[in-house]
A = this chain, B = another copy of it.
């Protein structure tokens, strides 16, 4: 009987490796709200010329007070600038984050649809997956799309 290597799927990773995966996850979680906001702000500016807090509240499904608080954090973090009653604006950093978020979002949606998922589910899933997919995985998805 040959000594068989344990099935990797049935074998725990080292504590350190696992801990660092979870730590990276927590990182991504913390960044997710910022990404969704700047992506939405960029979309609104492109499609409707301005990004008003009311509209963001409506589209995020959240109260206006929550938007005020969240935007204050985004401003503190140098992603957004505000002029009350005049909408929100993205800083350079905010525009870069928005562009990256949009690219990830759209690639994911195209990938999921190419695999046979319906459009609405693809959009729904992409909204969450986009924050947890690595650049390496995105590259692999892109390659899949190219190869039909």
Residues of A within 8 A of B (CB): 8-13, 15, 17-25, 28-29, 32, 36, 43-44, 46-48, 55, 58-62, 106, 109, 112, 115-125, 127-129, 131-134, 136-137, 140-141, 143-144
Contacting pair B140 A112 (CB below 8 A): yes
Contacting pair A22 B61 (CB below 8 A): yes
9 A–B contact pairs at CB < 8 A? A10-B46, A12-B44, A22-B60, A115-B144, A118-B136, A121-B136, A124-B134, A128-B131, A129-B133
Contact of A59 among B18, B24, B47, B116 (CB under 8 A): B18
Contact (A60, B125) CB under 8 Å given A115-B144, A141-B115:
no
Main secondary structure of the interface of A (DSSP, over half): helix
The copy count of this chain in the complex is: 2
Contacting pair B19 A58 (CB below 8 A): yes
Contacting pair B109 A9 (CB below 8 A): yes
Contacting pair B127 A22 (CB below 8 A): yes
**Chain B residues positioned under 8 Å from A118 (CB to CB):** 136
Inter-chain CA distance A20–B62, complex, in Å, is 10
Inter-chain CA distance A80–B58, complex, in Å, is 37
Contact of A129 among B23, B59, B127, B132 (CB under 8 A): B132
Contacting pair B121 A19 (CB below 8 A): no
Contacting pair A140 B115 (CB below 8 A): yes
Contacting pair B9 A22 (CB below 8 A): no
